[in-house]
């Protein structure tokens, strides 16, 4: 039970770290944790002429593969389909892009021990 709570907090800290990183890079955060009946998108942001759907994966190490490798084909399809539903509700003329942000870090019980961030742009098919 405790491990599950730590994993959830670690994930939230990773998303907070990714959001702060994107803001510093000039992204305007539109929505966090957008949910519909198909799934969830961690971050939706505007950057220049792009509407960017961002999947954030946080891991303490790459012992079992990199965080980005955890975004399977099935997960990508759910994100794309979730984004399609978002776009039906929120039409846009912006270009659509799908990114992954890897966060290496761990919640130690009181603090998030951030190690590293990797940002991969346009990592899978457009809507």
Phi then psi dihedrals of residue 32, to 5 deg: -115, 145
Q: For residue 126, is it within any domain?
A: no
Mark residue 59 as left, alpha or beta (left: phi above 0; alpha: psi -120 to 50; beta: remaining): beta
Domain that holds residue 70: 2-120
Structural domain tally of the chain?
1
69: domain CATH number is 3.40.1350.10
Residue 31: its pLDDT value, please?
Answer: 98
CB contact set of 17 (below 8 Å; sequence gap of 6+):
58, 103, 105, 112, 114, 117
Q: For residue 12, is it within any domain?
A: yes
Q: For residue 39, is it within any domain?
A: yes
Q: Count the alpha carbons within 13 Å of 27 in the hemisphere toward its beta carbon.
A: 23
Q: For residue 125, is it within any domain?
A: no
pLDDT by position in tens, the chain (length 127): 466 777 888 889 999 999 999 999 999 999 999 999 999 999 999 999 999 999 999 998 888 899 999 999 999 999 999 999 999 999 999 999 999 999 999 888 788 889 999 999 999 876 5
Q: Which of 97, 110, 115 is closest to 45 using CA atoms?
A: 97
């Amino acid at each position: 039970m405790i491990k599950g709570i730590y994993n959830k907090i670690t994930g939230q800290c990773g998303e907070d770290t990714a959001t702060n990183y994107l803001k510093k890079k000039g992204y305007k955060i539109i929505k966090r944790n957008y949910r519909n009946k198909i799934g969830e998108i961690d971050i939706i942001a505007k950057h220049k002429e792009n509407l960017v759907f961002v999947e954030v994966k946080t891991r303490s190490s790459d012992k079992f593969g990199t965080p980005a490798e955890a975004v399977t084909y099935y997960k990508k399809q759910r994100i794309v389909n979730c984004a399609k539903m978002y776009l039906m509700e929120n039409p846009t003329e912006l270009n659509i892009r799908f990114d992954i942000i890897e966060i290496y870090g761990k919640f130690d019980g009181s603090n998030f021990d951030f190690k590293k961030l990797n940002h991969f742009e346009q990592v899978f098919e457009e809507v």
